[in-house]
C-alpha cells in the first residue's frame, strides 16, 4: 500500500470521475483524458483497471479505519464514541461522494467480484466494531440490555446507509451532516438505558 505520487494523482482523478457520474464513468478513456495523457500511459502505473479501483478502496479504508480507531481508543462513554463515529463517517462520506457511488453499486461490471468482496469485507469489519462497542455500552449500563447487539448493529448500519442513500437520491443536495445528527438523536433515544 505504498503509492507513488502519480498513482495517488490517478486515484484522485478516479475518485473525481466516479463522484460525478458513478462508477460507470470510470473508463480508461475518461481517466486518461482527466490525467491529460494517453490511455496506455495508465498502464505504466497500474497493471489494469481493477487494480486502480482496488487501490482507491484500500486507500480509503485506511483513512476511515484510523479515524475510527482513534475514537474507539479514546476516553469517552460508549454513547459518545458512537456519536463521534457517526459524525466522522458522515463527514468523510460528504467529502468523498465517490465512496457512496462504489458502496451502492456493488454489481457493476466484470470486476464486480473483486469489488464486492472488498466492499463486503470492509462492511463486515465495521459491523464487528459496532457490535463490540454496543457490548461495551451494555456492560457500562449505558445501552439497553434487552436487545441483541447483532440486530442492533444491523439497524444502526442500515440507518446510516439509508440516510446516505436518501442523500444520494436527492442529488446530494440536502445537508448530510444535519441528517446525520438527526439520525443520531433517534438512535440514541432508542438504544440508551
Contact region with a copy of itself (CB under 8 A), list: 1-9, 34-42, 77-85, 155-163: 155-163
Gyration radius of the chain's alpha carbons: 18
Is residue 4 at the binding interface for DNA, with CB under 7 A as the rule?
yes
Among 43, 63, 112, 120, binds DNA (CB under 7 A): 43
Among 13, 23, 56, 130, binds a copy of itself (CB under 8 A): 23
Task: Identify the DSSP state of 188.
Answer: H
Residue 160: closest CA among 107, 67, 91, 65: 91
C-alpha cell belonging to residue 152: 442492533
Q: Which residue has the cell 466516479?
A: 18
Candidate segments 45-53, 122-130, 131-139, 163-171, binder of DNA by CB under 7 A: 45-53
The Cα–Cα gap between 57 and 60 comes to: 5
Grid coordinates representing 193 are 438505558
27/177 with CB nearer DNA: 27
Give the three-class secondary structure for 37.
coil
Cβ–Cβ < 8 Å for 149, 138:
yes
One of 1, 2, 29, 75 touching DNA (CB under 7 A)? 29
C-alpha cell at 15: 475518485
Residue numbers 68-127 binding a copy of itself by CB under 8 A: 101, 104-110, 112, 116, 120, 123
C-beta of 119: minimal distance to DNA in Å?
Answer: 19
Which of 11, 56, 98, 183 is the binder for a copy of itself (CB under 8 A)?
183
Phi, psi of 143 (to 5 degrees): -120, 145
Q: Is 114 in the site for DNA (CB under 7 A)?
A: no
- Does position 171 bind DNA by CB under 7 A? no
Q: Which helix (H) or strand (E) holds 52?
A: helix 49-72
* 3-class state of residue 3 by DSSP: coil
Q: Which chain residues interact with DNA by CB under 7 A?
A: 4, 6, 26-29, 37-41, 43-45, 48-50, 110
Which positions lie near a copy of itself, rule CB under 8 A? 21-25, 101, 104-110, 112, 116, 120, 123, 146-148, 151-152, 154-163, 165-166, 169, 182-183, 185-187, 189-191
Amino acid at each position: 500500500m505504498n503509492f507513488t505520487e502519480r498513482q495517488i494523482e490517478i486515484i484522485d482523478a478516479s475518485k473525481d470521475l466516479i463522484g460525478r457520474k458513478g462508477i460507470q464513468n470510470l473508463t480508461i478513456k475518461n481517466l486518461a483524458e482527466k490525467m491529460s495523457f494517453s490511455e496506455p500511459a495508465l498502464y505504466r502505473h497500474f497493471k489494469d483497471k481493477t487494480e486502480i479501483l482496488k487501490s482507491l478502496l484500500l486507500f480509503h479504508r485506511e483513512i476511515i479505519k484510523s479515524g475510527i480507531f482513534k475514537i474507539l481508543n479514546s476516553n469517552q462513554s460508549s454513547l459518545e464514541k458512537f456519536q463521534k463515529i457517526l459524525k466522522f463517517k458522515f463527514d468523510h462520506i460528504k467529502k468523498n461522494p465517490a465512496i457512496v457511488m462504489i458502496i451502492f453499486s456493488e454489481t457493476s461490471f466484470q470486476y464486480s467480484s473483486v469489488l464486492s468482496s472488498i466492499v463486503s469485507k470492509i462492511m463486515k469489519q465495521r459491523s464487528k466494531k459496532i457490535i463490540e462497542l454496543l457490548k461495551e455500552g451494555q456492560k457500562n449500563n449505558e445501552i439497553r440490555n434487552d436487545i441483541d447487539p447483532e440486530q442492533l448493529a444491523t439497524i444502526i448500519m442500515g440507518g446510516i446507509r439509508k440516510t446516505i442513500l436518501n442523500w444520494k437520491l436527492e442529488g446530494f443536495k440536502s445537508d448530510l451532516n444535519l441528517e446525520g445528527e438527526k439520525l443520531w438523536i433517534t438512535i440514541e433515544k432508542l438504544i440508551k438505558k
